[in-house]
Structure 1
């Protein structure tokens, strides 16, 4: 923009002074289309011609002085104002500050002083325009982003809330502003249900970028727990441009970015269930059982006194049920068997379906083989009670193979294989019974394969 395209409105009650100012400014290349001498006319003409700058005397004709007129103009228009006045007293200056002038020149002044003041005011205004544009751009992004964003001061008071954060927290921006962060962003550890307020404040007062614990819930305004993922950083990391420094000062030092994690966690649990649980019986499958068995072996390595047992079950007579009543009835029988086994066991134990009519049980932290045998006997007792399925009375039981962790088995595969060998020994001896694995059984199996 050249000087010739810059319009300056002069507001001066003394016509001679106003004409001199017009002459000087036009010599500098500025356009001065109007001279006005009252505050009321200054407002009217500013709206009409929209100048790029106003030179405003404080003492004017009429009831409205220059400061009052400037206040009205800046409410309506974004126009820089320079005061030209003989009044430099403290009271006048304090009043003038309210309208946020871009300059304040005490009369008398030189042509050079006037030119410098005008150029600086126009330059400052152009920078201010860029700042406002960047701020609008930033606010547009923050308000349109799908993640919730809350900005706090260094002391933990909320200075900004975007619409997504309003939706998740249940707090309107107007309600949340100036509130302590813990009042609006009330988070807890989803496992322990302990408050994370002190942890949150520690992060806000530090300079580090931090992720909150993965299993975190936000308690919204309606006391509903919402799983979230969240990251907290210094806002200056996102706003490195010099032109937004004022925005940083205004809105604080920390930005909290979070999102509702409900659907992701549901999907994760569904995938986990598909991977680790049997789709028919809803109990763990072989994959999950193997993981738990690996954990038990690790505990054995760390603690020689720790003892566990693996039970391998194969239902007796299940093929006959399927052949007689069909697979639908057979499937329902498997579900009922799984339910009975689950009720028999402790919370630390694991029962899994390996496929078909085969089940495996991991008994953790057992005292001795006698305790394991008592549990096997309870399993036989409970499974011997008939099942009523679709008005049909079904009877079954199980052949059970038992292997203790004290047997020299160093991996999961050997433990399962040995329990399976013991189970076949039980089935070969009449079914509905259990057998404890002994190394000699392996030789017996080999003989049966060769000669049987």
Structure 2
């Protein structure tokens, strides 16, 4: 006995006292005795009992059934009726308040005890079930998955709020309807899922899971869902209903599709990117098994993109790419595959086409591009392009070789003036030379790794008493595995073409700094300077420039001993980056020389913005100035211009005493060339004066 509390509601005083005595003998605790309905309600408020024994006939206007109804609504305390009434009308009224018992007077003591005990147990179980129901309801309502439960007939008995939201129908519309009528889910492979058939699946195969399916809700929306179907089984394995769990994957699917799209497409143009293009090309090559089937690849480069991008800004460059994209898409077939391969380069795969047909499409595309007028800030541009055309057939086994061939053909078209189509022909000399150039990259890598870079130097001497510092330009050679000395003219074009110059520059700078440090340890007070060349590829790469700056500043070589040479064309093509680097390094005390000045007349405009210390007059003017008065005039004009803007002038390619005298008469500050000294290995650096004292030729 748990000493449960009981309230007695009985208007017969003697019966109430007798009932109280019996209950207390059973071990119950009687919290009070009430004779009327209001007294009973007041007693419940003061000390709620575990159960109420209620007579139906009570004094006053409220009988026991009326009182029990109020108690049920306000306090949810169980009631047992003890009454002498058993007529149908009274019984019907009593049923409506759902009592835990109905005992007719007179009753036996054991009957009363048993009924109370069973009623309390039943109430305890019922309360536990209701608590579990509330707990499960709260849990199912708070989880992010939709839950639908059915009865044995397959009709919906429960839906949580998430399921209501997914299905687009209210719970009252769903409840009572067959599951198959409210749940319409399609699998891309198997069609619509029949949930009625799923009830026949063996228990060991449950739960049945479905993924990447589409749910059609009442509004006609297509919702991506994953889910599971399970049976509710009784203690003997009988069917007691089913449960369907739905997880809305629409957001994840959308993000996944977006990520997948971004991974395979160019964000600006919406075309496929290089990776997707390579995959499509590889698939095409792998499936080209019939000798009668040919395809073609177009490699398109916009000739004027860099001019537009650098002079008008990136927005103008982007607009040119978008307009070119629109034209390319309009000129190829719907079965063809277009991609932006990077920068201003596009690729088009023309499937199942002869090379003659591909060439015809290329010509139409080229003409359409060049005839299109792009207007930006009142400026009009044509979209000139260079197109490389490659045939794809059963002999084409390697997509890298195909892309390389297309790039070669496109580059050749651009070298020949642009705005033309070049068909790749592996037997043509021009393409064989390109293939030979490509082999230089692996050779150069090996030379760097095996320390076969050799540094030479060539003195740059003053021509008058104004300057005393002897400058020395560091030059590069490579020793072949066989021991032969390879001049830069053999490998520099290939290195520039395949953007390998930054790697070479880094290796040369490191090796030069090490050699200069050794020389300075032998002659720390000598008045000398060393010039190191930086290529256009390095000047265009801010990361490499940062690496060069770090190498130089951490080397310990004092800044007054170092000068960097940049060519005129390299400086102009990367003006902003070059300017920033020059200013940063000059602030640290390093000098700069502008090489090959005069190779383009635009130089005179750009020179004003380049903060260089030395101006090297292009050797093509110097080498013949003793025989060509125009060249002499150019040297004189450049020298005067250099002095006006405050730079020290240097003449290179000095090949004779006559040229040396002319340079001195003109007033050029420094001279460099074979008449003064030929390049020598830096390991044999000499502090002695060059063979010819240039100040007294």
Global fold match (TM > 0.5):
yes
Deviation string, structure 1 residues 312-368 (Cα, Å, up to 9, x no partner) = 22233444545665554333222211111112233332211111221111223x243
Write the deviation string for residues 420-443 of structure 1: whole angstroms up to 9, x where unpaired.
234345445664443444443664
Per-residue CA deviations over 1:269-318 (Å, capped at 9, x if unaligned) read 443344222233332211221232344345447x8877543222223344
Distance between the aligned counterparts of 1:409 and 1:299, measured in 2? 11
> Equivalent residue of 1:281, what SS?
coil
Residue in structure 2 matched with residue 286 of structure 1 by the alignment: 274
Check whether the contact 2:288–2:394 (CA below 8 A) recurs between aligned residues. Answer: no
TM-score (norm 2): 0.52
Q: What residue is the counterpart of 1:415 in the other structure?
A: 402
TM-score, normalised on structure 1?
A: 0.76
Q: Measure, in 2, the Cα distance between the counterparts of 1:215 and 1:296.
A: 31
Shift, 1:117, TM fit: 2.6
1:310 paired to 2:306: no
Q: In 2 relative to 1, CA 231–414 (structure 1 residues): closer, same or farther, beyond 3 Å?
A: same
Looking at structure 2, the residues matched to 259 and 328 of structure 1 have their Cα atoms a distance apart, in angstroms, of 40
CA contact (8 A) 2:295 2:355 kept: no
2:75 equivalent in structure 1: 77
Distance 1:428 1:340 in 2: 24
> What is the SS of the residue equivalent to 2:29?
coil
CA distance in 1, matches of 2:98, 2:288: 76
**Highest CA radius of gyration, 1 or 2?**
2
Cα deviation, residue 54, structure 1: 1.7
Match of 1:277 in 2: 265
CA distance in 2, matches of 1:59, 1:305: 105
Aligned length: 432
Alignment match, 1:258 = 247
Secondary structure, in 3 states, of the residue corresponding to 2:247? strand
Equivalent-residue separation in structure 2 for 1:305 and 1:25 (angstroms): 105
Are residues 281 and 133 of structure 1, via their aligned partners in 2, closer, same or farther at CA, if it must alter by over 3 Å? same
In the alignment, the residues of structure 2 paired with residue 72 and residue 287 of structure 1 have an alpha-carbon distance, to the nearest angstrom, of 75
How much is the aligned-residue C-alpha RMSD, in angstroms? 4.3
Q: 2:384 aligned with 1:397, yes or no?
A: yes
Between the aligned partners of 1:379 and 1:387, the Cα distance in structure 2 is 14
Structure 2: how far apart are the matches of 1:348 and 1:153?
53
Q: Distance in 2 between matches of 1:176 and 1:258?
A: 18
Using the TM superposition, give the Cα deviation of residue 26 of structure 1 relative to its aligned residue in structure 2, in angstroms: 0.5
- 2:354 paired residue among 368, 388, 403: 368
1:98, 1:296 → 2: CA distance?
A: 78
- CA 1:147/1:84 → structure 2, altered by over 3 Å: closer, same or farther? same
Question: 1:79 & 1:378 partners in 2: Cα distance?
Answer: 91
Does residue 268 in structure 1 map to residue 259 in structure 2? no
1:2 alignment partner in structure 2: 2
Alignment of 1:35-434 (within 5 A): 35-36=33-34, 42=40, 45-47=43-45, 49-58=47-56, 66-67=64-65, 69-85=67-83, 96-105=94-103, 109-153=107-151, 157-166=155-164, 171-174=169-172, 176-178=174-176, 196=192, 199=194, 208-214=206-212, 216=214, 218-219=216-217, 221=219, 225=221, 227-234=223-230, 253-259=242-248, 261-262=250-251, 264-297=252-285, 299-300=287-288, 308-322=295-309, 325=312, 327-364=314-351, 366-390=352-376, 391-427=378-414, 431-434=418-421
CA contact (8 A) 1:154 1:205 kept: no
Alpha-carbon separation, structure 1, partners of 2:147 and 2:401: 53
Higher relative contact order (CA 8 A, sep 6+): 1
Residues of 2 paired with 1:376 and 1:25: CA distance? 106
